[in-house]
Amino acid sequence: MLQSKIVLLAAGLLIAGSGCQMMSKGPQLKSGMQRSAVGFAWSDSTVKPATGPESSATDLALNVTHGWFLSPNAEIGGKFGYESSEVGPSGMTTKSDAWIVSGFGRWYFAGGSNLYPYVEGLLGWGNSDTGATSDDFLRYSAGVGAMNFMTPSTALDAILKYQVDSFDKTNVDVDGFIVELAYSVFW
C-alpha cells in the first residue's frame, strides 16, 4: 500500500514539474548557487548474506536533497530519504522501512543549452526496521546522470548509480543498480 502511494507521489511530482513547462536554457552554474530537489528512486538489488543463499530486494524511495556549488563544476550537499523494501524470494518476502542520511558530491561537465551531465558519489548512514528487528547500515554509491532544464531555474534530473548497503547486525550486503528521478530547483 505504501509503495503504491510513493509511486503515485513520484508520478505526480514529475507530471506537475514538467507538464506546463518547456525546455529552457539552464543557468550559468557558479559558486554560491544552491540546488534543492525532491526525488524518487527504484531498485532491484541482490542480497548477499555472510552465510546462506542470495536473494533479491526491491526498493522504492523518496528523497529530499540540498546542495551548494563550490565552483561551476563542483557541488556538495546532503540527502535525507525514506525507503520501503521487500526482501526475499517471491512469496516469502519480508517488508522493511528505512531512513537514510547521506552526503554527496557531484562534478558537472560542460553543459549544453539545457542538458548538464554529471558524476556523483555518495556516502551515508541509515537504519532499517522490519518490525521485529532494527539494523544500522552504511551506504555508498557512485553514478552518472544528467539534468535537463525545463525553465531557467528548474530541471528534471535522472541518475543511474551502483549502490551498496552494508548492514551491521545481520552482516548482510545489499548491492545493485538504482534509477533515481528528481525535480530540482536552483537558486
Instruction: State pTM to two decimals.
Output: 0.82
Please tell me the distance from the alpha carbon of residue 82 to that of residue 72, in angstroms, as a whole number: 30
Please tell me the distance from the alpha carbon of residue 134 to that of residue 80, in angstroms, as a whole number: 19
Mean pLDDT confidence for 176-186: 95
Q: 69-88: per-residue pLDDT in tens? A: 999 999 999 999 999 988 77
Given pLDDT bands bounded at 50, 70 and 90, which one contains residue 108?
very high
Mean pLDDT confidence for 94-114: 89
Mean pLDDT confidence for 107-119: 86
Mean pLDDT confidence for 76-102: 88
| CATH classification code of 2-186 | 2.40.160.20
Identify the three-state secondary structure at position 169.
coil
Mean pLDDT confidence for 107-117: 84
Cell numbers representing residue 62 in the block: 523518496
Given pLDDT bands bounded at 50, 70 and 90, which one contains residue 1?
very low
Q: What residue has cell string 542538458?
A: 115
Q: 169-178: per-residue pLDDT in tens? A: 888 888 889 9
Given pLDDT bands bounded at 50, 70 and 90, which one contains residue 44?
confident
CA-closest candidate to residue 35, choices 100, 79, 82: 79
Cβ-proximal residues to 113 (8 Å cutoff; 6+ apart), any chain? 25, 26
* Cα end-to-end distance, the chain, whole Å: 35
Identify the three-state secondary structure at position 153.
coil
CB atoms within 10 A of CB 164: 16
